Amino acid sequence: MRAVFFVLALASATMELGAQGSLASQGYGYPTGQLSSASLGVGGSTAQTDPASPINPAAIGLTSRYSITMLFEPEFRRTSVGGAEASTRTFRFPNFLMTGAVGRFAASASFSTFLDRTYSATLSDTQTIAGDPVESSLTNTSNGAMNDARFAASYWVTQKLQLGAAIHGITGENRIFISRLFPDSVGVGGVTQASVINFSGRTYSLGAVYSPTTKWLIGASARFGGTVDAKQDAELLGEANMPSRVGVGASYYGIPNTTLSARFDRTAWSSLDPLGSANMTTHDATEIGLGVDVMGPRIGGVATVARLGLRDRQLPFGLRGDQIGERTFSGGIGVPLGRSRGQLDLAVQRAARSAAGVNERAWLLSIGFGIRP
């Protein structure tokens, strides 16, 4: 029976957040990683040294002039448990960033998705009303996210070392709707349950970028401190510490026309436990990214960059006590536009997630566009 699929919904309902039709969107949602399309193409391996990814505040100084970048990322998922399957799709705009540099100083303002909880899933089933079986449809929809509004600044201490700091404002909301509809001919009205959860908080981050030689670029950053609270329909549900994060990444340029990159991150997601209930399982998570970019084919006489990557990580919100694992293979291309005053980055990701006997496969398409006036 297809209703078996919604064991996910029953297992993951917390604080009346409602049923969830996706393995990736358990708890407060899916951590997008706050990465640019270029970094996603190489498995997130360049995030610590990528000016367009709001991860390391020191990295913004690697851009030499004003720039604006934005990202569009649709995702198509198929989740299966036993013999039942369900498909969901999500359309995100997870990253917008503006950066400017003057001399040794650089500053940036960005708005990115921290935890995304946007999906829609519909199940057809049969209900018994007054002793008679009646066809119906159950729809579970969530729109919204916990977002990160960051202001960052960096300074070149020497030609090899740059330091940065940032303050992050946490905002956003989840709008959740669960409805059951019956055919008009039955004469039975539908039922809808709606709820809104709002988030507000703050946190801070520090970072450094160091180039010991022309062949190496190393970045490291940490996020720490601050709190976040959740309110459901204006009623305070709880307050928790923001998850701390530490990470390091390195890129090697010693091979002509080739860059090899790697990154390691560790995030203490369990600090969000006070926002949830005993039904919500939260885990600290590790992320590893490996990638390579090489000189790609010429398009319209312009040299491009081709990318390949592998990203292996754990997701913060588990299912029936199990932590969800995600492995993503990615590829992409970067195309300069307008005599390098613009940049188009495309990345395709194939993600596999699993936990507690549930499997999910997803395609993600990332389209990034940058302008350097």
**How confident is the model at residue 36, as a pLDDT?**
95
pLDDT at 4: 31
Residue 71: closest CA among 109, 48, 97: 97
Q: Would you state the pLDDT for residue 296?
A: 86
Tokens of 242: 């923001």
Question: What confidence score (pLDDT) does residue 96 get?
Answer: 95
**Residue 101 — φ and ψ, nearest 5°?**
-130, 140
Domains in the chain: ranges and CATH: 2-371 (2.40.160.60)
Digit-by-digit pLDDT tens for the chain (373 residues) are 333 333 333 333 333 333 456 788 888 889 999 999 999 999 999 999 999 999 999 999 998 678 899 999 999 998 888 777 878 888 899 999 999 988 899 999 999 999 998 877 777 777 777 677 777 888 878 889 999 999 999 999 999 999 999 999 999 998 888 888 777 666 666 778 888 889 999 999 999 999 999 999 999 999 999 999 998 877 888 899 999 999 999 999 999 999 999 999 999 999 998 887 667 778 999 999 999 999 988 887 788 999 999 999 999 988 888 899 999 999 999 999 877 788 999 999 999 999 988 999 999 999 999 987 7
> What is the pLDDT, as a whole number, of residue 14?
33
Tokens 């950066």 correspond to what residue?
Answer: 99
User: What is the structure's pLDDT at 342?
Assistant: 86
Q: Which residues of 78-105 are buried (b: 16+ CB within 10 A; e: fewer)?
A: ebbbeeeebebbbebebbebbbebeeee
Q: How far is CA 343 from the centre of its chain?
A: 22
Query: How big is the CA angle at 70 (ends 53 and 269), to the nearest 5 degrees?
Result: 40
Burial group, residue 41, by CB count within 10 angstroms (0-12, 13-18, 19+): buried
* Whole-number pLDDT of residue 189: 67
pTM for the structure as a whole: 0.85
| Rounded Cα–Cα distance for residues 265 and 244 (Å) | 11
pLDDT at residue number 164: 97
